[in-house]
Amino acid sequence: MSKRDLQNYLKDLTKKQLNEQILDLYERFKDVKVYYDFAFNPQEDKLIDDFKTRVGKEYFPPGKRKPKMRRSVAQKLIKHFITIEVEPSLLLDAMLFNIETAQAFTFQRTINQESFYKSMLNSFEQAVNHAKYHGLLVDSENRFIKIIQNAQEQKWLNYFDFGEVMRDK
């Protein structure tokens, strides 16, 4: 069905029928529920705080548990934030927090997985692109520079590439 067909279909519905359809969608589809829940009660700060807690536990779990370091946890949440259109500066904060937490972890322990460093570089590039697109690069430049410096100090396998990403922007 095209968008035009949908508009014509919706135009022919009564208000009651339209309300029933929206309620049915809300009950049936998780994405619709998430959308409406966020649209009417965003609580973006709470979402970001929850994000930071979850990412922090991936690298620094409570007690004596072994860190899981699953980068996919943060990436999945960031993708969700993009989908529901979290305020750009809060989204950037989450993106940078993810990298900063990983760097805090690698300050204590060396990671020998090349995929870890490649993923962090991809996350860094995504954050730079997001900041540039939304005009946040100047305001957050110090955090980007600190990430580059930490990558160099910790001798990350691809530390040179972090500086290149910033130079290209």
Task: Examine the pLDDT at 129 and tell me if it is beyond 90.
Answer: yes
Task: Examine the pLDDT at 84 and tell me if it is beyond 90.
Answer: no
Cα(159)–Cα(28) distance, integer angstroms: 46
Indicate if the alpha-carbon torsion angle 147, 153, 158, 159 is positive or negative: positive
**Mean pLDDT along residues 81-97:** 94
Q: To the nearest 10°, the Cα dihedral for 87, 46, 30, 76?
A: 70
How far is the CA of 37 from the CAs of 78, 84, 158, in angstroms? 18, 10, 40
What confidence tier does 168 reach under pLDDT thresholds 50, 70, 90? confident
Q: What is the mean pLDDT of the chain?
A: 92
User: Could you read off the pLDDT of 32-55 as tens digits, one per residue?
Assistant: 888 888 888 888 888 899 999 999
Task: Examine the pLDDT at 93 and tell me if it is beyond 90.
Answer: yes
- What is the pLDDT at residue 105? 96
Backbone Cα Rg of the chain: 20
- Tokens (6 digits) for 138: 């100047």
What whole-number percentage of the chain has pLDDT above 90?
72
